[in-house]
Amino acid sequence: MKTPKLTPRETEILDLVKVGKRDREIGLELGITTQTVRNHVSQVLHRFRARTRTEVVIRSICRGSLRLAKPPPPEPRRYRRNRKDNQKYWARYYQQHRDEVLAKNRAWNDAHSERMREYRAKYRAKKQEQVVSAGN
């Protein structure tokens, strides 16, 4: 079956119908009345010999007059197939982020060292108090 010729306005409306917009939304977007949108939609239905909007969209896709949007590219996989791939992944990650990782490690080590110094100082003071109080 041949692809029916559509006017530019009918093509615009068919694109918006494909997205799932209602007559009122289409009218607001294109700056025309709801009744005009209904007229265009019924004309498109008649040209495609379809009963519903869904049928029109399916037929127009099958005939090549309407294209679906490209799907987004798949996200990269986080988990590797096996242990060797996982080791390669983390080695590459470490090489790329080495400076950040080292800075974070340094910061953590510095904070940990400071906490340990404070803890030891408190511990020594407590021991000193115990020795002084035991001597009295």
Which pLDDT tens digit goes with each residue over 17-43? 988 899 999 999 999 999 999 999 999
pLDDT of 118 above 60 = yes
Of 4-8, 13-17, 95-99, give the lowest mean pLDDT range. 95-99
Computed over every residue of the chain, the mean pLDDT equals: 84
Residues 118-130: what's their mean pLDDT? 91
Radius of gyration of the chain (CA): 35
Q: What is the pTM of this model?
A: 0.49
Mean pLDDT confidence for 96-112: 85
For residues 105 and 53, which has the higher predicted lDDT (pLDDT)? 53
Q: Is the pLDDT of residue 80 over 60?
A: no
Range 89-116 burial, b when 16+ CB lie within 10 A, else e: eeeeeeeeeeeeeeeeeeeeeeeeeeee
In angstroms, the CA 107 to CA 105 distance is: 5
Alpha-carbon distance of 13 to 57, in angstroms, equals 11
Instruction: Please provide the DSSP assignment of 76-103 as one string.
Output: PPSS-SSHHHHHHHHHHHHHHTHHHHHH
How big is the chain, counted in residues? 136
**Percentage of the residues of the chain whose pLDDT score is greater than 70:** 85
Q: What is the pLDDT of residues 89-103, one digit of tens each?
A: 878 887 887 888 788
pLDDT of 121 reads 94
Between 66 and 115, the higher pLDDT residue: 115
